[in-house]
Amino acid sequence: VPQLEQTEFFISQLFWLVVTFTFLFIFLWRISLPRISSVLEKRESKIDDDITSAKKLQAEAEEIQKQIDQQLRNARLETSELIKTASSKFQNHATKELHQLDNNLSNTIEESATTIEKNIKDSLKQIHDQTYLIAKLTLSKISNVPVNDNEIKDTVDQLQPKVIN
């Protein structure tokens, strides 16, 4: 194929080769490469800005987390103190109430004991009086012997301690 066969070297080809590569070099050097480098610089600047702002936001987030943790600790301490205070107040109040109840019960028991002793004494006195009357009536009905009231009373008085025990 004769069209593909090149046996001669033409100056015109060399000329066009130089012109084309020169044009390509100037085009790349003045137009394409500056645009590409400016895009790369913008990207790098954007990435650096994003990294800087991410670090700044991370530092802010850590500071906020520290503040939240501190506030939580403070809230726990305050809550603990409030619980201790309320518990102490409740315990003091309960202790006062228990002492007051204990005193009231002691007074009531003492009053009841006094009342019971008084009732026992009154009952024993009534029994003594009734015993005296029964003895007097019995002796007057059974025997016709006149008996002195003082003698009956003395005898009942002597027997009373034996009956009580």
Quick check: 105 pLDDT over 60? yes
With respect to residue 6, please indicate whether it lies within any of the assigned structural domains.
no
Which DSSP string corresponds to 6-27?
Answer: --S--HHHHHHHHHHHHHHHHH
With respect to residue 138, please indicate whether it lies within any of the assigned structural domains.
yes
With respect to residue 113, please indicate whether it lies within any of the assigned structural domains.
yes
With respect to residue 26, please indicate whether it lies within any of the assigned structural domains.
yes
Most confident of 2-16, 109-123, 124-138, 147-161: 109-123
With respect to residue 5, please indicate whether it lies within any of the assigned structural domains.
no
Question: Which of the pair, 139 or 51, is modelled with greater confidence?
Answer: 51
pLDDT at residue number 127:
87
Nearest CA-CA partner of 128 in 95, 155, 106, 146? 155
Average pLDDT, the chain: 90
pLDDT at residue number 3:
60
CA 99 to chain centre: 28
With respect to residue 160, please indicate whether it lies within any of the assigned structural domains.
yes
With respect to residue 106, please indicate whether it lies within any of the assigned structural domains.
yes
d(CA 161, CA 130): 16
With respect to residue 1, please indicate whether it lies within any of the assigned structural domains.
no
Domain count across the chain: 1
- Name the residue range of residue 60's domain: 11-164
Quick check: 1 pLDDT over 60? no
Contact between 134 and 155 under an 8 Å Cβ cutoff? The reply is no
Question: Which of the pair, 82 or 146, is modelled with greater confidence?
Answer: 82
